[in-house]
Amino acid sequence: MIKKFYIFENSLYSYLNDIGDLDENEESLQKLIGFDSSDYKLDVKRYNSGCFGLIFKEDFLCDFFEIESGAISYAKSIVKYDYDYDVDRGEIDYISNYFSDENKNKFNTIIEKLDLIISIDDNEEIGHFFELTNKIIDYKDFLMELSMAIQPVIVNNMKKVFKKLPFDVEVSGVGRKNDIILEFSVDEIGTYIDEHKLENINTIEDFLHNIDMSDFDIYSYENYWEFDETPDYSSLVDTIDTELEKIIDELDDVDEIDYKSIFDDPKQLSLFKDDDIPKLANNYSFLYDFFSKLDVEYIKYAKKLGGKILAWFNSYDFQKMYMTKDGSPTKEKYDFLIANCNLNSKIKDEYEHLETMEEFNL
């Protein structure tokens, strides 16, 4: 039983206790609400002594608490339904922030094997690498694992936000017409008043005016980095490790080498080193199964990554494959290569006529 000084001095708690059975004295209870009767509905819990509910339209209640419209129902949906934390695609540029030491070691191995000019600390360029190799590594798996790590942290934090309130919250309805049901216990009202040393609380309206609702900020619900609980990234780390190993295996698989390229530029040739395969002065065998899967949509990143990836896009192999893919060579394809690559001299010899054809409308 609550017997503290502030409780007995507080008229709301005293009057609620004096009413006795709330379901038999609704008229007396109505006098302690404070809100205009047009703004709420009273729901007395007839099978739960000492409890009652007030039903408000959400817009009215959010205005009263001075919080964003819809903030309460959205917060409730996070804890009540299958909440899905949406990880933006751009987060791939920061995925290396979650690398374990083992992940870093494996990515360094990839850097060495491809002679990339980036470092393990270059988050954005590592993201660009995953964009380029998305047909080998589906980095959406990384984003999904990241989402699954963050989601329970947000849900747990929102549960804590609701638990701090001296009433239960339920939502009924759809959209801005939502009904928000605040379910009160007389004893919980008394406890909250005592613990927070509230005075001059004569009505439920007075009581609600003293509730801190600052946590109900739609724009901070997903700020998981500010919460006490830290996401468990172990599954993400394991997935990254598996996918990096997949690339290493592809780069190590000499059986996949089945395509020879001839380079006119000795500097380009020097990028490719493979002691297992004898090379003539101007010949090199590409790991074609790997390089041919690099996504041309992200070719702009090749110059930043450098090494063998850049050499691939500058090679006759790639440029010939690009020009002949999906039908006949076109001026648009040729222009694309000029804009994005160092045009291979043999490609220039084979396709520069496309410019002349367009000039003369042939």
- Those residues whose C-beta lies under 8 Å from the C-beta of residue 325, and which sit 6 or more positions away, are none
- The whole-angstrom separation of Cα 51 and Cα 22 is 8
Residue-wise DSSP of 222-287: T-GGGSSSPP--HHHHHHHHHHHHHHHHHHH-GGG--EEEE-S-HHHHTT---TTS---TTEEEE-
- The whole-angstrom separation of Cα 126 and Cα 116 is 10
Other C-beta atoms lying within 10 Å of the C-beta of residue 1 = 5
CA 318 vs. chain centroid, Å, equals: 34
The tens-digit pLDDT sequence of the chain (362 residues) is: 444 554 555 578 888 887 777 767 788 889 999 999 999 999 887 656 788 999 999 999 999 999 999 999 999 999 988 889 999 999 999 999 999 999 999 999 999 999 899 999 999 999 999 999 999 988 999 999 999 999 999 999 999 999 999 999 999 876 567 899 999 999 999 999 989 988 889 999 999 999 999 999 999 999 999 999 999 999 999 999 999 999 998 887 644 433 344 444 445 545 554 443 333 333 445 577 889 899 999 999 999 999 889 988 988 889 999 999 888 899 999 999 999 998 988 899 988 888 776 554 54
Domain boundaries, the chain: 5-83+165-222, 254-362
Other C-beta atoms lying within 10 Å of the C-beta of residue 287 = 22
Q: For position 7, what pLDDT does the model report?
A: 52
Q: For position 266, what pLDDT does the model report?
A: 46
Q: For position 227, what pLDDT does the model report?
A: 95
CA 220, 223, 226, 232 torsion: positive or negative? positive
Q: Which residue in this structure is represented by tokens 């006949």? A: 328
- The whole-angstrom separation of Cα 340 and Cα 324 is 17
Structural tokens at position 146: 């990241």
Structural tokens at position 34: 């404070």
Query: What is the pTM (predicted TM-score) of this model?
Result: 0.80
- The whole-angstrom separation of Cα 356 and Cα 362 is 8
CA 19 vs. chain centroid, Å, equals: 51
- List phi, psi (to 5°) of 276: -80, -15
Q: If you count them, how many residues does the chain have?
A: 362
Decide: 308 and 117 in contact? Cβ < 8 Å.
no
